[in-house]
Amino acid sequence: MNIISERAKISPTVIIYDDVSIGDDVVVHDYVTLYPGTVIKNGAEIFEHSTIGKIPTSPGSTERSYSNEYGKTVIGERCIICPGVVIYTGTEISNNTLLGDNCSIRENCRIGKYCIISRLVTVNNETVIGDYTKIMDNAHITGNMRIGSHCFISVLVATTNDNSMNRDANAKDHLQGPIIEDYVTVGAGANILPSVRIGKNAMVGAGAVVTKDVPPAKVVMGVPARIIRDID
């Protein structure tokens, strides 16, 4: 059963499956699909061609097995979901966060309030992002990663969670993305290897390849990244 506010403005072309909840003053534009379990809170706006609450599916070529049940997919108050976004089931996005055009967020992520996940970013499953954090265009955030609050991850940054690069058939049981603490900034095109920890308020230079932990409040640069100086 659906619970849809009379004060929501929903285009007639929106596809709404069962068990969808839409709050007051929500706007849903044309050709959006809302899968079961989708919850859109007051004042959020969903732009054209977005797909929300999709369950992951496998043709037999993926390592993980998926649940075929829908969880709750929550879009917080006053969030903006831009055109062409795909959000998978079980992901929750807090208030006042923006998801840019054609980005994709996999299942069971938690994204904080006042974040920006920019255009064409991909976020993999089970990842947690704090508040006031920005992930810029065309970056990839891996699964099972932790990003703190007030972070800035620049464009085309790569992150990964499997040191075996898929060579270890058991790797799926111990994947660990990087851990990025609060107030960290990562420059454009940087590359952060699995399970690396980047300490609070550290800065990673553009194009750096970060192969080991970075202490708090240090600046690292280069391939591989080395400590250059303290944060001013």
Q: Is the peptide bond before 56 cis (omega within 30 degrees of 0)?
A: no
Angstrom distance (rounded) from CA 162 to CA 139 = 17
Q: Is 122 in the site for a copy of itself (CB under 8 A)?
A: yes
Half-sphere exposure of 130 (CA within 13 A, CB side): 16
| Least Å from the CB of residue 37 to a copy of itself | 16
Question: Which part of the chain contacts a copy of itself (CB under 8 A), choosing from 2-10, 18-26, 64-72, 134-142?
Answer: 134-142
Q: Which two tokens stand for residue 52?
A: 């929300």
| Least Å from the CB of residue 64 to a copy of itself | 11
Question: Which residues, 6 or more positions from 62, have their beta carbon under 8 angstroms from its beta carbon?
Answer: none
Q: In 3-state terms, what secondary structure has residue 173?
A: helix
Answer yes or no: are the C-beta atoms of 162 and 145 closer than 8 Å.
no
Among residues 38, 104, 125, 127, the one that binds a copy of itself under rule CB under 8 A: 104
| Least Å from the CB of residue 7 to a copy of itself | 18
Distance between start and end Cα atoms, the chain: 56
| Least Å from the CB of residue 46 to a copy of itself | 11
> Which residues, 84 to 103, sit near a copy of itself by CB under 8 A?
84, 86, 95-98, 100-102
Question: Which part of the chain contacts a copy of itself (CB under 8 A), choosing from 2-10, 18-26, 41-49, 66-74?
Answer: 41-49
Question: Which part of the chain contacts a copy of itself (CB under 8 A), choosing from 18-26, 66-74, 120-128, 174-182?
Answer: 120-128
Question: Which part of the chain contacts a copy of itself (CB under 8 A), choosing from 2-10, 66-74, 150-158, 173-181?
Answer: 150-158
Angstrom distance (rounded) from CA 55 to CA 162 = 23
Q: Is 165 in the site for a copy of itself (CB under 8 A)?
A: yes
Give 232: exposed, middle or buried? Use CB within 10 Å, 0-12, 13-18, 19+: exposed
Q: Is 193 in the site for a copy of itself (CB under 8 A)?
A: yes
Among residues 10, 22, 156, 180, the one that binds a copy of itself under rule CB under 8 A: 156
Among residues 38, 89, 91, 118, the one that binds a copy of itself under rule CB under 8 A: 118
Concatenated DSSP letters of 6-73: TT-EE-TT-EE-SS-EE-TT-EE-TT-EE-TTEEE-TT-EE-TT-EEEEPP--SS-SSS----S---E
> Which residues, 44 to 73, sit near a copy of itself by CB under 8 A?
45, 47-49, 51, 54, 57-62
